[in-house]
Structure 1
Amino acid sequence: MIRALRPTAPALALLPALALVPVLIVVLQAVHGGGSEIWAAFLLGAVRPSLDPVLIGSLLRALEVTVATALTGWGCSLLIGVVLGCLSSERLWLTFRWPGLPAMLLRRLLALPRSVHELIWGLLLLQVFGLHPWVAVAAITIPYAALVARVWRDQLQSLDPSRLEALLQAGASPLSACFTAFAPAMGGVLMSYGGYRLECALRSATLLGVFGLGGLGTDLELSLKSLRFQELWTGLWLLALVSIALEQGLRQWRQHSGQARLAQRQVLGFVAVVVMAVVVGGLWLARLFPDAGPLSWMPLIWPDGRALLLAAQELPWLPMIWETLMLTVLAAGIAIGLPPLVLLLSSCRLWRSCLGALWTLLRLIPPPLTVLLLLLSNRPTLAIGALALGLHNAGVMGRLLQEGLDQQDDGSRTALRSSGASQRVSWLYGLLSPRSPSHLAYGAYRSDVILRETVVVGLIGGSGLGWQLLESLSSFHWAAVLLLLASYALITLCGEVLSDGSRQHWLQS
């Protein structure tokens, strides 16, 4: 009986890189004349950024807006997310001897805000409240709070309840028993996941600026569209300094929280830091925008059933959904397969250092700016959006993979080298093979993120649901907007289910 061939773990980590082949073929075939000069000017601007004091002062103020927005949105989302996560935990409701049905209903409702990307929230709130600094804060807070609530609730449900039951049987009140039993473990989750969400908030605040919601992203987009690459790189280097400082600080933070046994006092101290971040960020924004005033609601005329039916008949559903799914598959393939592929080329320290700088650069540039840059020498295609989205997420995947490989035991690789295996084979099976399941598990989660982010490149690249959503928003076609949002949320929720299943499979293998 012939056994079916099954690819090995490292092969499964490398195979997604095949998505690069059709993407690069389409992109390279669509290159037009003059593109080389534009790219040469872009690369030259990286080593010769503008040092004009007026420009630097303007960029620093824009960077202040971005950082203050990220800090405020991050703090608000953590506080709201923890509260919602507790309220959506059936275990806590049953501990207080309350029925668990409200917790289940809240958990289902929270799936809707987290399924919609923060950029869509920003564009919708912009239509309702106008241009206001707190619109960007709310756009980050709403989906992030729902994501934090999901992670917090899942972690609460996965904890061993024996300690909680012992405290309750000893006569402790439900509130004190929950805090004593869960605070140390959940404090580690809050500090680790909270740090990750702060990095995401900084990237989201920059992205919202690209679409006109203020901050450094707006300046970067204007510099790119006017081909002022030296000014563009000045802003990118400033953003890089902030990002690298944040990454190093969070790395030390994670190492400390991972080595220390968290006490209740440390957890309360971290909560106080989050509250302070909200206060400082809010006051910072008030100082930067003294004339902003309160948010003013602009009433909307909601569409009736007839308008929804007409919009459903007008929209090109199959092409939109197909392009969105293809964007996701191609970008996810690039994000998952590119990091191990380039790491396989060489294992020397210099090459790893160069790749570390590359991962930082790829994470630094928002995907819409990459799309705009590619459009300077190319025509709009789905491949451009997939390449921009894949490279940005490859920066995230590459950093995590490289950090994991650096921390991994080198014994298997050394043994393979001693037995006569080549350098690449020993790296592939001695280092990458044990790391492949965790890399693929995070790749499954990242694919879910990419599905949400397809709207980002679709808004510029002219493909998928994102493009149609932008068209409907700009024409105030609210019936189409509602239908597109509903379909987008449904697709992302289905993707979330598939992502969770794939992640569990690889974590258990």
Structure 2
Amino acid sequence: MTVTELRPDPGPGPTVPRPSGPGAAVVLVLLGLLAAAVWATAELRLNVATLVDSVGNAADFLSRTVPLDFPPLGEVLALSAQTLAIVVCATLLAVLVSLPVAVLAAANTTPGRSVRYGARAVVVVARAVPDVVLAIVFFRLFGLGGLAGVLAMGLHSVGMVGKLYADAIEQIDEGPRTAVRSTGARRWQELVSGVLPQVLPALVATALHRFDINLRISVLLGFVGVGGLGFEIATALRRLDYQRGMALALIVLVLCIGAELLSGAVRRALLGAGDDGARAPGPLGRRLGRVRAELRREPGAGTGTRPRILAPDTTIPPWSPRRLRGAGYALLTGVVVLASLWGADLAPWQAFAGLAGAVDTLGLFWPPSVGGILPELLAELVVTVQIALAATLIGAVLALPVGCLAARNVAPARWVSTAFRSVVVLVRGLPELVLAIVFVVITGLGPVAGALALSIGAVGLLGKLVADSLEETDVRVQQAVRAAGASRLQVFTAVTLPQAAPAFVAHLLYQLDVNIRSATLLGVVGAGGIGFYLLNASRVLEYGVVTTVMMMIFAVVMLVELLAVWLRRRVA
């Protein structure tokens, strides 16, 4: 009798799988992050007592703000136009730089692995270097004006836009691209005809989303010299003129909400969305379908013709109403871009003069220096991380119920989801910097103001991501459980929530990543963290300290980025 024969028969019943090593590691890391967030919240003394003690300051701030002091209408329009022009130019620069970077960074279009890693490194570095640091460098190079703001926002945006563009390129259908290649097309023709039509909807949606973000960032850059509404807000608040400062902030809020609604409407018009949230083809989607259908045809098949878009004897299509509308949209876009280039006051001669002295100017930032305040820098770096952790925890507690009620497949009624979607849009329109200024006045200088501002800001971003994730769950499983007699709450807790849980974890990690960067920048207005030292170092021309602070921020951001990537791969 063998040893195998002596073993008991386990039978056909189910066996309990043992927890895997990576799964246990993920749980431990997540518990560690939760413990760190709780510790940070307690260390910063973020509690109800702190808010109650600040009620008197809030009432005093409100009395010093009302009535709001709006500038004359002509001045408001001029400042708004200048701000929008700078934001449009920055977003356009980000798109133009991100497209070639994304082609080189995508695994299916890059010419080699080393080139791909280099392009991905460019994307990561662009995300990790704060836009305020870039603005300080460019102001030193080119002086005051819109050019520094456009370069700072545009190059920093490459980190996000380039990554999303590369991801979109990697997810294309290879069939049309293969069909284009079979016609003997060159590499650039293959990209233009086989890749670009497929990713065009994603390119447009990402550019519009980045425009929203850059509009909020422009307020922050006003505190380091970028013109427009942000600069005027900074000037008013330095004079403690809260009536004018908050009036201008309200104008920014209206612009941000308008940009959010307009970009959403454009995305829906281009990409299409049904009433039930399902995707329905819009103009770009229908065109993409036609292109795919044509490219999938084998050369010489059927009628014996080659794919129309690459045939040597291709003729110009007739001017149909659809083509006229497309030409109108293109013309309108061109007019907006040209008006923005003029309104941003970029001053090309200023750029040439700055480039002539670029070596000497950049030499001011090297070598790094601690300025005799290394212990203070390290302590404030820890405070910055604490602000981000506490804000992520509080923001998650606030955003999860809001996001759940904003999801159409979870909310008890359609009007409920519409109302909470409106709350999300309203909160997303509030620039964190304006919130930080308000909380600085109410709670005083320090990290409490920064953490509260980022917590409120998280409701907009995290609430939207949570709602979208819940709406993307498999409704067929939910309907089956509901048909078995389960209540709405039981369906949510037993089916919907478990399906969306991995996405929730990824969203929380992304929010932490965003809060690390934002916590650094809010220190510019006294909301705690290392950003305060960054701004002071630039004001007293200690550029070596600016470089040191930038390197410290970069190291922390990269660690968070690597941790987030590792966790997302294991919870997806």
The TM-score, its normalising length taken from structure 1, stands at 0.80
Q: How does 1:119-134 map to 2 (within 5 A)?
A: 119-134=132-147
Task: Give the Cα–Cα distance (whole angstroms) in 2 for the partners of residues 318 and 20 of structure 1.
Answer: 16
User: Where does the alignment leave 5 or more consecutive residues of structure 1 unmatched?
Assistant: none
Task: Give the Cα–Cα distance (whole angstroms) in 2 for the partners of residues 312 and 380 of structure 1.
Answer: 23
Task: Give the Cα–Cα distance (whole angstroms) in 1 for the partners of residues 478 and 261 of structure 2.
Answer: 29
2:548 equivalent to 1:483: yes
Task: Give the Cα–Cα distance (whole angstroms) in 1 for the partners of residues 335 and 113 of structure 2.
Answer: 33
What is the letter of the counterpart of residue 210 of structure 2?
Answer: R
Aligned to 1:498: 563
2:274 equivalent to 1:261: no
**CA shift in 2, pair 1:28/1:370, >3 Å:** farther
> Contact conserved, 2:106 with 2:169, CA < 8 A, in 1?
yes
Aligned to 2:538: 473
What is the letter of the counterpart of residue 168 of structure 2?
Answer: Q
TM-superposed CA distance for 1:74, in Å, is 0.7
TM-superposed CA distance for 1:315, in Å, is 5.1
> Contact conserved, 1:455 with 1:466, CA < 8 A, in 2?
yes
Higher helix share: 1
**CA shift in 2, pair 1:310/1:332, >3 Å:** closer
- Match of residue 117, structure 1, among 89, 108, 130: 130
**CA shift in 2, pair 1:32/1:93, >3 Å:** closer
Mean alpha-carbon deviation: is it higher for 410-419 or for 153-162? 410-419
**CA shift in 2, pair 1:121/1:333, >3 Å:** same
**CA shift in 2, pair 1:485/1:162, >3 Å:** same
2:96 equivalent to 1:75: no
C-alpha RMSD of matched pairs (Å): 4.1
Aligned to 1:174: 187
Aligned to 2:276: none
Q: Flag as ranges the 4+ runs of structure 1 deviating above 6 A.
A: 1-8, 15-21, 268-274
Aligned to 1:35: 57
Aligned to 2:338: 279
Task: Give the Cα–Cα distance (whole angstroms) in 2 for the partners of residues 20 and 317 of structure 1.
Answer: 18
**CA shift in 2, pair 1:197/1:431, >3 Å:** same
Aligned to 1:294: 350
Task: Give the Cα–Cα distance (whole angstroms) in 2 for the partners of residues 354 and 236 of structure 1.
Answer: 24
TM-superposed CA distance for 1:66, in Å, is 1.2
TM-superposed CA distance for 1:496, in Å, is 1.9
**CA shift in 2, pair 1:211/1:308, >3 Å:** closer
Aligned to 1:58: 75
Task: Give the Cα–Cα distance (whole angstroms) in 1 for the partners of residues 184 and 210 of structure 2.
Answer: 37
Q: How does 1:186-225 map to 2 (within 5 A)?
A: 186-224=199-237
Aligned to 1:85: 102
User: Where does the alignment leave 5 or more consecutive residues of structure 2 unmatched?
Assistant: 1-15, 273-280, 292-308, 310-322, 406-410
What is the letter of the counterpart of residue 35 of structure 1?
Answer: N
> Contact conserved, 1:236 with 1:364, CA < 8 A, in 2?
no
Q: How does 1:450-465 map to 2 (within 5 A)?
A: 450-461=515-526, 463-465=528-530
- Match of residue 478, structure 2, among 412, 422, 447: 412
TM-superposed CA distance for 1:414, in Å, is 10
Return the index of the structure with the highest Cα Rg.
2
> Contact conserved, 1:455 with 1:465, CA < 8 A, in 2?
yes
Aligned to 2:387: 327
TM-superposed CA distance for 1:117, in Å, is 1.9
- After superposition, give the CA deviation of every residue in 1:284-315 in whole Å (9 maximum; x if it has no partner): 224xx9x996344264373698x647658845
What is the letter of the counterpart of residue 198 of structure 1?
Answer: F
**CA shift in 2, pair 1:395/1:309, >3 Å:** closer
> Contact conserved, 1:19 with 1:333, CA < 8 A, in 2?
no
What is the letter of the counterpart of residue 72 of structure 2?
Answer: L
> Contact conserved, 1:339 with 1:397, CA < 8 A, in 2?
yes
TM-superposed CA distance for 1:441, in Å, is 2.3
Q: How does 1:352-371 map to 2 (within 5 A)?
A: 352=417, 355-371=420-436
Aligned to 2:158: 145
The residue matched to 1:261 in structure 2 has which SS?
A: helix
> Contact conserved, 2:391 with 2:451, CA < 8 A, in 1?
yes
Task: Give the Cα–Cα distance (whole angstroms) in 1 for the partners of residues 485 and 245 of structure 2.
Answer: 51
The residue matched to 1:377 in structure 2 has which SS?
A: helix
- After superposition, give the CA deviation of every residue in 1:2-28 in whole Å (9 maximum; x if it has no partner): 9999999xx99xx89968964674574
Task: Give the Cα–Cα distance (whole angstroms) in 2 for the partners of residues 504 and 277 of structure 1.
Answer: 41
Q: How many residues align?
A: 488
What is the letter of the counterpart of residue 284 of structure 1?
Answer: G
Query: Identity, % of aligned pairs?
Result: 17
> Contact conserved, 1:67 with 1:202, CA < 8 A, in 2?
yes
The residue matched to 2:503 in structure 1 has which SS?
A: helix
Aligned to 1:164: 177
Task: Give the Cα–Cα distance (whole angstroms) in 1 for the partners of residues 239 and 419 of structure 2.
Answer: 30
Task: Give the Cα–Cα distance (whole angstroms) in 2 for the partners of residues 493 and 383 of structure 1.
Answer: 25
**CA shift in 2, pair 1:3/1:330, >3 Å:** farther
TM-superposed CA distance for 1:67, in Å, is 0.8
- After superposition, give the CA deviation of every residue in 1:98-125 in whole Å (9 maximum; x if it has no partner): x553443343244323311222211222
> Contact conserved, 1:88 with 1:153, CA < 8 A, in 2?
yes
Mean alpha-carbon deviation: is it higher for 333-342 or for 22-31? 22-31
Q: How does 1:337-416 map to 2 (within 5 A)?
A: 337-342=397-402, 352=417, 355-402=420-467, 405=470, 409=475, 412=478
**CA shift in 2, pair 1:177/1:275, >3 Å:** same
> Contact conserved, 2:219 with 2:433, CA < 8 A, in 1?
no
**CA shift in 2, pair 1:112/1:27, >3 Å:** farther
TM-superposed CA distance for 1:142, in Å, is 0.9
Task: Give the Cα–Cα distance (whole angstroms) in 2 for the partners of residues 452 and 231 of structure 1.
Answer: 28
What is the letter of the counterpart of residue 462 of structure 2?
Answer: M
The residue matched to 1:376 in structure 2 has which SS?
A: helix
Task: Give the Cα–Cα distance (whole angstroms) in 2 for the partners of residues 315 and 128 of structure 1.
Answer: 30
TM-superposed CA distance for 1:217, in Å, is 1.9
The residue matched to 2:226 in structure 1 has which SS?
A: coil
